[in-house]
Amino acid sequence: MDFCEILEKIAHHIEKNAEYLDELDAVMGDGEHGFNMKKCFNTVKLMLPEWREMSNVEILENAGMTLLTAGGGTASTLLGFFMRKAAGAAKKETVYDAKSIAGILNRALESTLERSQAKVGDKTLMDVLIPAVREFSEEAENGDIRAAAKAAARASAEGVKATGQMTAKRGRGFYVAERGLGTADPGAASLDIIIQTICGELFKEG
Amino acid sequence: MKKIINRPDDVVRDMIEGMRLANQDIRVLPGTGVVVRKDAPVPGKVGVISGGGSGHEPAHGGFVGKGMLDAACAGDVFTSPSVDQMMKAIRAVDAGRGVLIIAKNYTGDNLNFDMAMELLEEEGIKTAKVKVHDDAAVEENADTTGRRGVAGTMLVQKVACACAEAGGSLEEVKEAAQSAADNVRTIGFALSPCIIPAVGKPGFSLGEEEMELGTGIHGEAGIRRMKVDTAHNLVEIMLEKLLADMPLEEGEEVCVLVNGMGSTPLMELYILYREVHMKLTGEGIRIAKAYVGEYMTSLEMAGASVSIMKLDERRKRFLLAPADTAGFKQF
């Protein structure tokens, strides 16, 4: 699995959906989430040639740091932080299988939860991240990484759909409250695009 | 919008560049908007940094220098600096004894500072953070983010930085900052709104004879709209609100800060100060030190705020210690 290739695909899918993300954000916040995410991943894309020789863990660390630099919103910042923490946890592992990856994701999630303090139901990107990591971990118990990725992709899609029925308790959406009903959270939606891209690449590899 | 700028998207970059060119005692970390004391890291000294959205100048970049901040991170106008900026600022000022962060209480600022601290912990840099939430206009409420950090932040920075300059440990500097933050309250008002350059129009509007009490430093809604009143009556209302939140006893010693929001004449700030002075001294409060001027502005907003900090011997000593920065000098 080549992380540079995956990041390039993510940048492509984010760019393709930037307008849709902006539309969601126009209801929930200030209408620039798609623009911001596009900016972030375009910066990542520009860095890729320099990262080609690096290990996947180093690529993950650098991509996380890039999101923390180029960011311009809480969603990209939290995502960058998650990636940095995941890279930190990954450095302590020697084998990367379903179980150890679940462990890495859970440690990164724990730190991110502590920072964001958002829970499931608050209508933030955590409504996608938490169930995706949880479902991945449960399925990973059986040692099948593809099944785990499939479960994560399903949980992610359900998570973003569920945010459409929520009233925001945290984040920018908090200020629009009921008016946001029927609209998915933009941060959750962009994370879902990222997760679907990663999982899609996993299946392709066979 | 009438502003002397080049391009709205470049205002922060251009301003930081101007600050650097005008001030030989600071440097700017390339491409970051992080202003650093030229001699940082100062050997043997705990570093103190702050930061936040731009548009509040001289806070915080103008307070970088001897006796005050070691570094300040400037975000976009009214937008939190990035985690990366904060990490670079902290690394640039750490002399091995740790770094204290003084943050105004806003969600984005604190989230980012907390992440920066956690990531730097992995690099072995010791950090601590104190939040300032001095705005007496907003009620504390467990469900929300809580009170905003406003002009009183400058006084907290002054106390903490003097403690660091005097050789205090990270724990001592943090304790000094915390005691200052616990003992300062601010209340402000706005006469006219401000315009974020990239937005181009005011975030709120006020009628010709109208003002708003309790407005935040980003133009956030205050407690109430009222007709513009005399300085005397306005100070009565402001101090009543402030002192209800932080009562003062006869004989107590305080520092008073009358802060202009951006386009209020010094004449009016001194008129306000006169009223505050007479009211407080009339109640037997001793004013050990007063500052009148622009310390925490909100772009071109017209209005002002009054901050009061209760002093004990220690806070007073740190407050009165010398400092030499572009935006705050004291000898």
- Rounded to an integer, what distance in angstroms lies between the CA atom of residue B62 and that of residue B69? 9
Q: Do A74 and B83 touch (CB under 8 A)?
A: no
Q: What is the pLDDT of residue A172?
A: 61
For residue A52, give both structure tokens.
């080609």
What average pLDDT does the structure give for chain B? 95
- Rounded to an integer, what distance in angstroms lies between the CA atom of residue B52 and that of residue B263? 21
- Rounded to an integer, what distance in angstroms lies between the CA atom of residue B31 and that of residue B39? 19
B223 at A interface, C-beta within 8 A: no
- Rounded to an integer, what distance in angstroms lies between the CA atom of residue B58 and that of residue B56? 6
B308-329 confidence digits (pLDDT tens): 999 999 999 999 999 999 999 9
CB B253 within 8 Å of CB B286: yes
For residue B61, give both structure tokens.
């970049």
More confident residue, A100 or A171: A100
Q: What residues contact B272, with CB distance under 8 A and at least 6 apart?
A: B231, B234, B235, B258, B304, B306
Between CA B217 and CA B223, with CA B220 as vertex, the angle to 5 degrees is 105
B25 at A interface, C-beta within 8 A: no
- Rounded to an integer, what distance in angstroms lies between the CA atom of residue A138 and that of residue B133? 42
Strands B127-132 and B286-293: unpaired
Residue A206 has pLDDT above 80, yes or no: no
pLDDT band with cut points at 50, 70 and 90 for residue A203: confident
- Rounded to an integer, what distance in angstroms lies between the CA atom of residue B75 and that of residue B312? 34
Q: What is the pLDDT of residue A72?
A: 63
Mean pLDDT, residues B127-138 = 94
Mean pLDDT, residues B214-235 = 92
B157-199 confidence digits (pLDDT tens): 999 999 999 999 999 999 999 999 999 999 999 999 999 998 8
In 3D space, the residue among B92, B8, B7, B9 whose CA is nearest the CA of residue B51 turns out to be B92
Q: Which helix (H) or strand (E) holds B268?
A: helix B266-282
B75-106 confidence digits (pLDDT tens): 999 989 999 999 999 999 999 999 999 999 98
More confident residue, A174 or A11: A11
- With 0-12 / 13-18 / 19 or more C-beta atoms within 10 angstroms meaning exposed / middle / buried, residue A171 is buried
pLDDT band with cut points at 50, 70 and 90 for residue B145: low
More confident residue, B138 or A20: A20
B8-56 confidence digits (pLDDT tens): 989 999 999 999 999 999 999 998 999 999 999 999 999 999 999 999 9
Residue A205 has pLDDT above 70, yes or no: no
Candidate from A72, A81, A88 with C-beta closest to B115: A81
A14-50 confidence digits (pLDDT tens): 999 999 999 998 888 778 889 889 999 999 999 999 9
- Rounded to an integer, what distance in angstroms lies between the CA atom of residue B20 and that of residue B121? 30
Q: What is the pLDDT of residue A71?
A: 63
Q: Which residue has the tokens 């890729």?
A: A48
DSSP secondary structure of chain A? --HHHHHHHHHHHHHHHHHHHHHHHHHHSSS-HHHHHHHHHHHHHHHHHHHTTS-HHHHHHHHHHHHHHH--SHHHHHHHHHHHHHHHHHHT-S--SHHHHHHHHHHHHHHHHHHH---TTSSSTHHHHHHHHHHHHHHHTTT-HHHHHHHHHHHHHHHHHHHTT---SSSGGGGTGGGGTTS--HHHHHHHHHHHHHHHHHHHH-
What 8-state DSSP symbol labels residue B33?
T
Query: CA separation (Å) from A140 to A8, A102, A155, A158?
Result: 26, 7, 14, 19
For residue B301, give both structure tokens.
């907003």
**Chain B window 85-104: which residues touch A at a Cβ cutoff of 8 Å?**
85, 87
> Nearest chain A Cα to B76, which residue?
A72
- Rounded to an integer, what distance in angstroms lies between the CA atom of residue A172 and that of residue A164? 15
For residue B118, give both structure tokens.
């956690």
pLDDT band with cut points at 50, 70 and 90 for residue B229: very high
Q: Do A80 and B83 touch (CB under 8 A)?
A: yes
3-class DSSP string for B181-235? HHCEEEEEEEEECCCCCCCCCCCCCCCCCEEEECCCCCCCCCCEEEECCCHHHHH
A45 at B interface, C-beta within 8 A: no
The percent of residues above 90 in pLDDT, for chain A, comes to 78
A80 at B interface, C-beta within 8 A: yes
Q: Do A116 and B115 touch (CB under 8 A)?
A: no
B interface test, pick of A32, A44, A115 with most B CB neighbours within 10 Å: A115
Q: Which residues of A touch B87 (CB under 8 A)?
A: 68
More confident residue, B1 or B156: B156
Q: Which residues of A touch B111 (CB under 8 A)?
A: 74, 77-78, 115-116
Phi-psi region of B144 (alpha: psi -120 to 50; beta: other; left: phi over 0): beta
Candidate from B79, B85, B122 with C-beta closest to A88: B122
Q: Do B119 and A80 touch (CB under 8 A)?
A: no
State the Cα torsion A175-A176-A182-A188 to the nearest 10°. -30
Candidate from B82, B107, B119 with C-beta closest to A71: B82
Helix A145-163 vs helix A98-116: crossing angle, to nearest 10: 30
For residue B143, give both structure tokens.
């469900």
Q: Which residues of B touch A115 (CB under 8 A)?
A: 111, 114-115, 118
Between CA B278 and CA B285, with CA B279 as vertex, the angle to 5 degrees is 95
Q: Do A68 and B84 touch (CB under 8 A)?
A: yes
B242-285 confidence digits (pLDDT tens): 999 999 999 999 999 999 999 999 999 999 999 999 999 999 99
What average pLDDT does the structure give for chain A? 92
B218 classed as catalytic: yes
More confident residue, B146 or A3: A3
B277 classed as catalytic: no
A114-154 confidence digits (pLDDT tens): 998 889 999 999 999 999 999 999 999 999 999 999 999 99
The percent of residues above 90 in pLDDT, for chain B, comes to 89
Mean pLDDT, residues B230-245 = 97
Q: Which residues of A touch B119 (CB under 8 A)?
A: 81, 84
